[in-house]
Chain A
Amino acid sequence: MAIAKKAIVWGLFAAGGTLTSFILPALIGLFLLVATGNVPENLQFEQFHAFAASWLGKACLFVVLFLSVWHAAHRLRVVVHDFGIRKDALVANAVYTVAAVGTVLAAFYLLAIS
């Protein structure tokens, strides 16, 4: 069972790493534009709400958030170990629980947008 679980979290880590490497710079760029006060047209309420209300928009946002949160969880588990905290079972439960909560919240809010 341990090996099977490891394959799943490692698969999510690899897929999430590739996805975030490609798209997170653009996402940070959008937050940067918002920070300067130049809110991109399609991030205005009407347009972004319509995007998130469509099934394609929901699917894209969910896949990105799902892979990102599990990727981050797996790496943070290793970071905690690297900084000298040797309680892997506890840490693994904590980070994967947070990832699961993030996944559920993402799905919940996306489904609530209609």
Chain B
Amino acid sequence: MSRRPYVREMSKTTWYMRNGRYRVYVLRELSSFLVAFYTFLVIYALSVLAAGSAVQWNSFLASQQGVGMIIFHGLALLYFLFYQTFPWFKLAPKAMPIQVGENKVADSKIIGAHYVAWIVVTAFIFWLAGVI
């Protein structure tokens, strides 16, 4: 071992600012806060529903309305789409390469299938909720 090993100085808290790829990685990872937030929001909604009265449910729905909530959910939706959903589809052929016979299925087909499935799933949830 070298007597004076070279140690590159690197901040433990701001290392990702050195490089654009690292910044995108950190931005993607931060979408996990949205997953946690919406999971606990739904659990809270279920606790209100479990109380079993329409009055409480309606006041919960009313508490979720307003310009601030519209802006928050709108930004959250854009953030989640561009930093989780679309990147997740993009990496799918790397995570799950599919082989048919001798050939690998083209990445674009796997990614395209994910987008089609996503549209179907979204339409199904909206149908289930009575939106369409």
Chain A residues proximal to chain B, CB less than 8 Å: 14, 16-18, 20-37, 39-43, 45-49, 52, 61, 64-65, 68-69, 71-73, 75-76, 78-79, 82-84, 86, 102, 105-106, 109-110, 112-113
Give chain B residues whose Cβ lies under 8 Å from the Cβ of A29.
Answer: 77, 122, 126
A48 lies within 8 A of B12 (CB): no
Give chain A residues whose Cβ lies under 8 Å from the Cβ of B100.
Answer: none
Docked complex Cα distance between A84 and B43 (Å): 30
- Sample of 5 A–B contacts (CB below 8 Å): A28-B80, A42-B129, A43-B61, A52-B46, A113-B49
Give chain B residues whose Cβ lies under 8 Å from the Cβ of A106.
Answer: 43, 46
Instruction: Kindly state the interface size class of chain B when it binds its partner.
Output: 35 or more
Chain B residues proximal to chain A, CB less than 8 Å: 11-13, 16, 26, 29-30, 32-36, 38-43, 46-47, 49-50, 52, 54, 57-58, 61, 64-66, 69-70, 72-74, 76-77, 80-81, 84-85, 88-89, 95, 117-118, 121-122, 125-126, 128-131
A24 lies within 8 A of B49 (CB): no
Docked complex Cα distance between A39 and B46 (Å): 16
Docked complex Cα distance between A112 and B53 (Å): 13
Docked complex Cα distance between A52 and B128 (Å): 12
Q: How many A-B residue pairs have CB under 8 A?
A: 160
Give chain B residues whose Cβ lies under 8 Å from the Cβ of A22.
Answer: 85, 117-118, 121-122
Min Cβ gap A87→B in Å is 12
Minimum-distance CB pairs A-B, first 10 = A41-B130, A75-B32, A84-B12, A42-B130, A84-B13, A35-B69, A72-B36, A112-B50, A21-B88, A45-B54
Min Cβ gap A5→B in Å is 20
Give chain B residues whose Cβ lies under 8 Å from the Cβ of A113.
Answer: 46, 49-50, 52
B122 lies within 8 A of A25 (CB): yes
Contact among A34, A84, A110 for B61, CB-based, below 8 A = A34
Docked complex Cα distance between A46 and B130 (Å): 13
Contact among A16, A37, A49 for B65, CB-based, below 8 A = A37
Min Cβ gap A8→B in Å is 18
Give chain A residues whose Cβ lies under 8 Å from the Cβ of B39.
Answer: 65, 68-69, 72, 102
